[in-house]
Amino acid sequence: MTDTATLLAYEIPNALQQIISIISTNLLYPVMIVLIILIAGSLIELGGFLFEWRNRHRDLGRMEESASRAREKLEQSDPEGAFGVLGQSCSNSFVHEFLYRIAFLHQGCSDRGMLEVRLEKLLQDINFEMSKKLERSRFVARVGPMFGLMGTLIPMGPALLGLSAGDIDTLANNLIIAFGTTVVGLMAGAIGFMVATVRTRWYKHDISDIEYLSEIIFGDLGPGTGVAAGYRANRAPATPMPEHIPAPLPVVRPKPDENDRLGVIGTIVSRSGESVHRALIFSRSGLISAKTAGSILANSALWMGLIVIVNAVIIVAMNVGGLNVPFNYLLLINLFICAAFVVTIYSLKGRARSRSRDLEGMPVNKILSDDGSNFEVPYSDIKRIEIDKSRNIKILTSGGWIEVGRVEKSSIGAMGVLHAVLQDRVVEV
C-alpha cells in the first residue's frame, strides 16, 4: 500500500509534470516561427489593403447610367453594345468582376428562368470569393493573440526557475522572449482585425451595388426566388394596365459606324526595358491597339538597380573613404527613391488614362496615324484570343501571335466586351 500511495502521490504527478514541461518547452521555437510568419502575413495583408484602398472608386451615378443604357441595348438585341457600356462603368474590384462575368449570362441562354438562375449563381460565387478574401485577415486576427499568449506563458516556467536559482540572465532572457512574443502576436492580430473590419464594410457595400445593378439590368426577369424576385416582393403592386394597348412602334436602330466604340481595355506592355501603356479599342470594324503612354522610368528593375547602386556606393565610401552616414539617413535616401518611383508610376498612369479618353473620340484613321506603333486587327482576322491567369492577352491571327500586354486592374470590368464581341474565340488558360 505504501508503494502504491507513493506512486500515486509523487511519481505519477512528477512524470506528468515533466511530460507537460517537455512539450511546452519544445513548443517555444515553433510558436516563435509561427509568430514571425503571422506578422509577415499581416504586413502583406496591410500592403494589399492599402493598395486596394488606393484603387477603390465608386461613382453610383455613373453606374446607374451605364446599367440603364445597357438595359436599353439589351432590349434592342444589342448585347455587344450593352456589355461595352457596362465595361466603362468605373467601380471597385468585385463590381468589376461582376461586370466582367455578366457577359456570359446571355451566351446560349434563351430561357428567362435559366437566366435568373445564372444570375443567382454569379452573385453567390462573388459572395464566396469575398468571404475567401476575408479569411486570411480574420485568421490572423484570431490566431495572432493566441500564439502571442502561448509565447508569453511558455518562457515563464524557465524564468521562474531562474529566479528561484538566482540566475538573473536566464530570467531576463526568458522575460524578453515572453514580452516580445506578446507584442508581436497582438500587433499581428490588431492589423488583421483592422483589415478584416474595413474590408467587410467595403464588400457589403460592393454586394449591395452588385444587386442594385443586376436589378436595373435584369429587373424584368420572370417570377422566381432570386434577387430580382426579392426586390419585386418589396415593391408596391404595379398599376393595372388598360385592356387595349396600342402596338409598340418598331425600334429603328441607326446604321453601325466603324468609328463607334464598343469598349476600351487598358493594358501594360514591357518591351526593351520600357513600360508602355496601350489601349485596346473595340470598334465596329476591328480591334485597335493604340499607345497611350510610355517611359523607361516606369521600369521597376531600373529603380531596384538604382537602390542597389546607391547603397553599394555609400557602403564602400563608409568602409574605404571613412564617410560617416547614419543609418537613418541611408533609410531616408531609400525611401526617397521609392517615393520617386511611385510618383513616376502614378504620373504615367494618369497620362495614359487622359490619352485613352482622347483616343476614344478620334476616328479610326486618326488613331492609326497618331503613333507608328498603333495598329488595327479586323475581327475576321482574329482566330483565337488567350488570357492567362496574370491577365496577359495574346491574339492569334493569320500572321501569328500578337502580344497586346497585361490588362490593368482598373480595366478588369471592361473585359466583358471582349467576350461579347468575340464570344467563341476567347480562351482563358
Read off the pLDDT of residues 249-259 as tens digits, 9 standing for 90 and up. 444 444 445 55
Which of 258-262, 322-326, 333-337 shows the highest mean pLDDT? 333-337
pLDDT at 225 over 70: no
Domain total of the chain: 2
* Residue 168, pLDDT score: 86
Of the chain, the percentage scoring pLDDT greater than 70 comes to 78
Domain closes at, from 280, 315, 345: 345
Q: Is residue 259 part of a domain?
A: no
Q: Is residue 292 part of a domain?
A: no
CB neighbour class for 64 (10 Å; exposed up to 12, middle 13-18, buried from 19): middle
pLDDT at 29 over 60: yes
Q: Is residue 61 part of a domain?
A: yes
pLDDT at 311 over 50: yes
Domain closes at, from 210, 230, 250: 230
For residues 222 and 309, state if they share a domain: no
Of the candidates 276, 134, 243, the residue with the CA atom closest to the CA atom of residue 193: 134
CB neighbour class for 285 (10 Å; exposed up to 12, middle 13-18, buried from 19): middle
* Residue 272, pLDDT score: 66
pLDDT at 91 over 70: no
Read off the pLDDT of residues 31-80 as tens digits, 9 standing for 90 and up.
989 999 999 888 888 888 887 887 777 767 777 777 777 777 777 666 65
Q: Residue 198: which pLDDT band, with cuts at 50, 70 and 90?
A: very high
* Residue 4, pLDDT score: 67
Is the backbone of residue 201 left (phi > 0), alpha (psi -120 to 50) or beta?
A: alpha
Task: Give the angle subtended at the CA of 327 by the CAs of 321 and 328, to the nearest 5°.
Answer: 130
For residues 67 and 168, state if they share a domain: yes
* Residue 146, pLDDT score: 92
Q: Is residue 350 part of a domain?
A: no
For residues 307 and 179, state if they share a domain: no
Q: Which of 15-19, 166-170, 291-295 has the lowest mean pLDDT?
A: 15-19
For residues 140 and 37, state if they share a domain: yes
For residues 110 and 23, state if they share a domain: yes
Q: Is residue 159 part of a domain?
A: yes
pLDDT at 419 over 90: no
Q: Which cell numbers hold the place of 308?
A: 542597389
Which structural domain range is residue 325 located in?
A: 300-345
* Residue 259, pLDDT score: 54
In the three-class reduction of DSSP (H, G, I as helix; E, B as strand; rest coil), residue 226 is classed as coil
Tell me the average pLDDT of the chain.
Answer: 77
* Residue 188, pLDDT score: 92
Better pLDDT: 77 or 116: 116
Q: Is residue 413 part of a domain?
A: no
Q: What is the mean pLDDT of residues 198-226?
A: 73
For residues 91 and 220, state if they share a domain: yes
Phi, psi of 300 (to 5 degrees): -65, -35
Taking the alpha carbons of 314, 319, 325, 331 in that order, is the dihedral positive or negative?
positive
First to last CA, the chain: 76
**CA pair distance 171, 418, nearest whole angstrom:** 66
Residue type, 337: I
* Residue 261, pLDDT score: 67
369 Cβ contact list (under 8 Å, min separation 6)? none
Q: What is the mean pLDDT of residues 328-356?
A: 82
Q: What is the mean pLDDT of residues 384-408?
A: 84
Q: Which strand (E) or helix (H) includes residue 386?
A: strand 382-387
Better pLDDT: 247 or 143: 143
Q: Is residue 38 part of a domain?
A: yes
Domain closes at, from 230, 256, 283: 230
Better pLDDT: 170 or 78: 170
DSSP string for 242-303: PS--PPPPPP-PPPP-TT-EEEEEEEEEEETTEEEEEEEEEESSEEEEEEEEEEGGG-HHHH
Q: How many CA atoms lie within 13 A of 244 on its CB side?
A: 0
For residues 156 and 54, state if they share a domain: yes
Q: Is residue 357 part of a domain?
A: no
Q: What is the mean pLDDT of residues 203-217?
A: 82
Decide: pTM greater than 0.95. Answer: no
CA dihedral 393, 352, 411, 392 (to 10 degrees): 20
Q: Which of 124-128, 173-177, 296-300, 376-380 has the lowest mean pLDDT?
A: 296-300
